[in-house]
Structure 1
Amino acid sequence: MCKDYLKPNTTSSKDLNLVIEQCLNTSFWEQYKLKTRIKEDTKCHTQEQYYPIEPIDIVVAVILLCILMLNLAGSVYDILIVKKSYSGNKWLLYFSIKRNWSKLTETQKLIGPEIEDCRRDGWQNMLYINNYFDNTRCMAHTWYVAADMQLFILGTFTLVLIRSDQRRQVVLWAMFVLSLFTAPLHTYFQNLYDNIIISPEVILDFFVKDPTFNHSYKRGHTNMACYILGLSLGLIIYKLQQKQLNIEKYKKYKYMFWATCPMMIILILCRGLMYMDGVTPHPALKAICAGLYRPLFGLLIFLFILGMVFKLENVYRPTLEWRGWTSAVRVSYSVYIVHLMLILISVSSITTLNHLTIYEALLSSFGTITFSFLCAVPLWLLVESPISQVVQQVTSSKKTKSSKMKSIDNSIVSSSEDKKMN
């Protein structure tokens, strides 16, 4: 036992190290002919160990006690003296738990109408037709999912029913030209803006009462132009990969390709020319802008993706292929689900007028994006990731079972044919 080596006057860490080394050396030397050495100091604690109270402990305890007493005093003052009136000592009312709880639950007033609308109109979201119904707050930002599903069905039927490449080109061109007139016609005859004008009232209403959002922005047929461009892009990439395109002779156009991103930014900034102070654009001009903006932006995205796929340059592509984007991409759908609710809470919590500047707009945008990603992480960890893995496991097990049944059937057929031959 190591206590046999312990001397009565052993108090320091160095003495303890020597005692433990003697004990260990005895056992290790007898069994393995090895010597040990302890490099770190050894500290032992007894049951009667005393930890003195330091001044900082007293300061923290006093601060916490003061906060607790202020909350208690403010709550009693609010409930018994002030009651429902708003007069009184505002400094003491700041610590009223009753009033702070009311502020915390104010968002229920905003969420309440959305819950009622979802009970009434939730079936529209399940059928992916909610983008053709107006004045409902039920997951209003999922109009994109509905429009995407509708266009996906349209594209699938087009490719399945039309097998000839020449006929596909004719039909896709006809659909694209037709789609160029849908948004302008809505804008002209319904006197809409060529894009959504963001205002606090529009955000608080979830965009559901904005005519431009309802008639020109969220409909499936008004977004068909960019979908046709994307569908055509997929077919073009497939054909060029089949032909084994030699991209080296096209790399001289990389400087034009680099201009796609600046052109997107310029195109976005040009939209502001339509909303200068004291200028009311003509409905025809708004209709032309509504018909050209999305197809032009979609065309730039078309060229950008085409260059990325065939590795036309080495500036944009390595940036987008950075592995650091992987985590952000995984939670992107959860961000899509929660971001509008966070924007609504942020806007509804503002009780004073703010001076809008470019700095404030950028700060608000990046703050909302960062907070959306932080809130999406637990949603992905607890909901999206487990469910996706369960679905993947169920579907993969069904595929393996079907493949095994097919192999068994094939073996039975081959054995029966062998018997017939014999």
Structure 2
Amino acid sequence: MGNFKYMFSCVVLHLLLLKCCSGVIYRLNETQYESMPPLFAMDHYEACLHDLDGMYCVADFDLYAVGHSDLMKLIQEYSAHTLKHYNHTQIHRGICVTRTCKQHIEKNTTNETADLSRVLEGCLNESIWLNYKIQARLNNIKYCDKANETMSLDVYDMVMVVVYFIIIILNLAGSLYDVAFSKKPGRGNPYLLAFSIRRNWAKLVEPGGTGSEPRLDRLKTFYGLRTLTMICVFFSHTVLIMSHSYIDDPLYIERSPDEPLKQLLFNGSLVTHTFFVMSSFLLAYNFQLYSEKTKITWVQVPKGILLRWLRLTPTFGLVVFTISTLMRHAGSGPLWQLVVGSEAAACRQYWWAHLLYINNYIYDDAYCMPQTWYLAADTQMFCIGIIVCFIARTPRVQKIIMPILMMVSVGIVGTHTYFQDLDPVVLQAPEKYRNLYENDDTFRLLYIRGHTNLSTYSLGLAGGFYLYYLQQEKKDWNKYKIYRWAFWLMAPLAVGIILSGGIFYTDEDTIPEAWKVLYAMFYKPAFQVLVVTLIIGTALKFEKIYRGILEWRGFRWTGRVSYSAFLLHTVFQRGLIGIQTTPIHMTDYFVVTVLMATIIMSFLGSAVLWLLFESPISALIKAVMRPQKNQDQNQNV
């Protein structure tokens, strides 16, 4: 009887610790976890390259066993749970070849790739066998750094140096011209004054809503909404960039899906789509204001698309070409080429797709400014949105077109999800983080493409049309303020929608396919309906709490530079992670610290970029394409 109890207890303990089912291990205790070879490890980089013949290589190795191995079986079954676990059958190393593998080096062989491969494989395989009694096979050598080997400036680097020199000269010339020769407002050469730092500073800090159109004053909410949404994007990308590098505690990532608060991060990609709503809302609303004073013809459609391209592309292009050239030389370290150099190489290959705003349809373009899929998708939908605005110029037509557009939009998502067997949401699996979603079909075929995001864009268009209609009707909203409690419920409802994505992070997938398709179709519109309601409610002064937060004056300048911040923030994050010489130790405190640094550096850096380039180029385009007498009528929202 005693033996039976002992055996029963062992079985129960085994199930609790491993939760093993059909060759998949869902949990390991820390002792079992530490029995596996570390997923990431790095030799000392600087000491290695201080040697005259020092060589440091970053490479991936596949683990295997000849014959039966309990440890190898554990590694394989733990790695089989790809939703929450890294692939521990492949380990990643930064190796000082000339020190760690000294005894494996044959004289004058390390310059040949084949010989270097044998050295690395033999070196690491020996270490793995001695410590774990399993073996390692070289998968690929990512890159090697050698002592006294530096990257020289090429012609493209020199061109970017000249471009920055010209930008500085133009700003100095414009500022001096403004101070010395153009003391009266509205006088002077508009092309030189576009580069006046004093005037651009005044634009940056001016109160929102100043201009000839008082109705735009009610859209000050957008400054706060842009800023807070951007901070959410910073948060998401902080964790993403860290996970793309080497970390010494992968268990931190693997256990995160089981922590409720971190579900806000995993499913927080919903927040990014708020930018689609803001963009389309402003398009629809401003188009109707514009049509009050100007006769609308089909000429406005290509002109509007051209103006948008001219507004976005100069700053975008400057950042893309900076990343592909000068950023390569900004630092060094064992991870620099992995985190920074890979982006530079990708941008050199795919810069044209980004400037044409089609990069979200290039499946292989995963590493060049991956966050700019949003710009491509938004530009593609802008082309559709401006045509919709042209056609739907009356409330009657809007009531017909918008429901049709919405039904088509959610139908597109459902069709893709079902027939391409996609996940209902982008599941934040560790290996997807590590590879920046390079081979994730849900991300690359559904999440980032223009036509699959039309539902949220359509909601923004409908919101812009509806706000304009309500303002034209001039209804008294005071009698409805007794229902403000329902308005205040939007924040907890939004959090609830984000957390609902946690149902797809269960260990065993038991959700019917039909429910997955329905969730994929409606979870983004459900969240963005709340955002549209928030915008309309604050514009109509329905309540004071949300409006007071979003209309805080401190958000004015951060809202204006949010586009530049969006482009720059990953530059700072990649640079910080790329210079690390040891695997990163991820903790909640460290993530928050890097996030705060990202916020400060991104907004300050973007303010400089806005003052010296984005605002001057915008003013220059207006000076070229619009009559001088109409320029002071434009309102900054």
Provide the secondary structure at the position in 1 that maps to 2:100: coil
The aligned residue for residue 391 of structure 1 is: 617
Of 490, 493, 501, the residue aligned with 1:263 is 493
The aligned residue for residue 295 of structure 1 is: 525
Residues 87-236 of structure 1: matches in 2 within 5 Å?
104=333, 106-136=335-365, 137-236=367-466
Identity of aligned residues (%): 28
Structure 1 Cα separation of the partners of residues 510 and 581 of structure 2: 30
Structure 2 Cα separation of the partners of residues 170 and 184 of structure 1: 22
Structure 1 Cα separation of the partners of residues 554 and 341 of structure 2: 38
Structure 2 Cα separation of the partners of residues 210 and 193 of structure 1: 10
Structure 2 Cα separation of the partners of residues 196 and 107 of structure 1: 27
The aligned residue for residue 415 of structure 1 is: none
2:592 is aligned with 1:366: yes
Judged with a 3 Å threshold, the aligned counterparts in structure 2 of structure 1 residues 184 and 76 are, in CA distance, closer, same or farther, namely closer
Structure 1 Cα separation of the partners of residues 354 and 581 of structure 2: 31
The aligned residue for residue 241 of structure 1 is: 471
User: How large is the RMSD of aligned CA atoms in angstroms?
Assistant: 3.4
Judged with a 3 Å threshold, the aligned counterparts in structure 2 of structure 1 residues 125 and 247 are, in CA distance, closer, same or farther, namely same
Tell me, yes or no, if the aligned pair for 2:395 and 2:469 is still in contact at 8 Å: no
Tell me, yes or no, if the aligned pair for 1:200 and 1:347 is still in contact at 8 Å: no
Which has the larger share of helix? 1
Tell me, yes or no, if the aligned pair for 1:342 and 1:368 is still in contact at 8 Å: no
Tell me, yes or no, if the aligned pair for 2:463 and 2:532 is still in contact at 8 Å: yes
Structure 2 Cα separation of the partners of residues 265 and 257 of structure 1: 14
Tell me, yes or no, if the aligned pair for 1:342 and 1:372 is still in contact at 8 Å: yes
Higher RCO (C-alpha under 8 Å, 6+ residues apart): 2
Judged with a 3 Å threshold, the aligned counterparts in structure 2 of structure 1 residues 268 and 402 are, in CA distance, closer, same or farther, namely closer
Of 96, 99, 102, the residue aligned with 1:85 is 99
The aligned residue for residue 21 of structure 1 is: none
Residues 17-36 of structure 1: matches in 2 within 5 Å?
none
Q: How big is the shift at 1:188? A: 1.9
Task: State the AA in 2 paired with 1:171.
Answer: I
Structure 1 Cα separation of the partners of residues 509 and 584 of structure 2: 25
The aligned residue for residue 250 of structure 1 is: 480
Q: How big is the shift at 1:365? A: 5.0
2:335 is aligned with 1:321: no
Give the TM-score of the pair, scaled to structure 1: 0.66
**Greater alpha carbon shift after TM alignment, 374-383 vs 241-250:** 374-383
Tell me, yes or no, if the aligned pair for 1:264 and 1:300 is still in contact at 8 Å: yes
Tell me, yes or no, if the aligned pair for 1:203 and 1:344 is still in contact at 8 Å: no
Provide the secondary structure at the position in 2 that maps to 1:182: helix
Give the TM-score of the pair, scaled to structure 2: 0.45
Tell me, yes or no, if the aligned pair for 1:130 and 1:146 is still in contact at 8 Å: yes
Provide the secondary structure at the position in 1 that maps to 2:99: coil
Tell me, yes or no, if the aligned pair for 2:568 and 2:605 is still in contact at 8 Å: no
Judged with a 3 Å threshold, the aligned counterparts in structure 2 of structure 1 residues 380 and 74 are, in CA distance, closer, same or farther, namely closer
Judged with a 3 Å threshold, the aligned counterparts in structure 2 of structure 1 residues 303 and 399 are, in CA distance, closer, same or farther, namely same
Task: State the AA in 2 paired with 1:275.
Answer: Y
Alignment coverage as a number of residue pairs:
318
Tell me, yes or no, if the aligned pair for 1:194 and 1:286 is still in contact at 8 Å: yes
Judged with a 3 Å threshold, the aligned counterparts in structure 2 of structure 1 residues 247 and 190 are, in CA distance, closer, same or farther, namely same
Tell me, yes or no, if the aligned pair for 1:237 and 1:306 is still in contact at 8 Å: yes
Q: How big is the shift at 1:351? A: 6.2
Which has the larger share of strand? 2
Structure 1 Cα separation of the partners of residues 512 and 443 of structure 2: 19
Judged with a 3 Å threshold, the aligned counterparts in structure 2 of structure 1 residues 346 and 392 are, in CA distance, closer, same or farther, namely closer
Judged with a 3 Å threshold, the aligned counterparts in structure 2 of structure 1 residues 342 and 192 are, in CA distance, closer, same or farther, namely farther
The aligned residue for residue 3 of structure 1 is: none
Structure 1 unaligned regions, length at least 5? 1-72, 89-97, 405-422
**Greater alpha carbon shift after TM alignment, 325-334 vs 79-88:** 79-88
For each residue in 1:64-122, what CA deviation from the matched residue of structure 2 results, as whole angstroms up to 9, or x when unmatched? xxxxxxxxx9789855999921389xxxxxxxxx79x9962531233333333322322
Judged with a 3 Å threshold, the aligned counterparts in structure 2 of structure 1 residues 305 and 274 are, in CA distance, closer, same or farther, namely same
Provide the secondary structure at the position in 1 that maps to 2:357: coil
Tell me, yes or no, if the aligned pair for 2:359 and 2:376 is still in contact at 8 Å: yes
Judged with a 3 Å threshold, the aligned counterparts in structure 2 of structure 1 residues 256 and 377 are, in CA distance, closer, same or farther, namely closer
Task: State the AA in 2 paired with 1:120.
Answer: Q
Structure 2 Cα separation of the partners of residues 135 and 76 of structure 1: 33
Structure 2 unaligned regions, length at least 5? 1-45, 55-95, 103-146, 151-330, 631-637
Task: State the AA in 2 paired with 1:387.
Answer: F
For each residue in 1:192-249, what CA deviation from the matched residue of structure 2 results, as whole angstroms up to 9, or x when unmatched? 2211122443233232321111111001111111111110111111111112121101
Task: State the AA in 1 paired with 2:335.
Answer: E
Task: State the AA in 2 paired with 1:288.
Answer: L
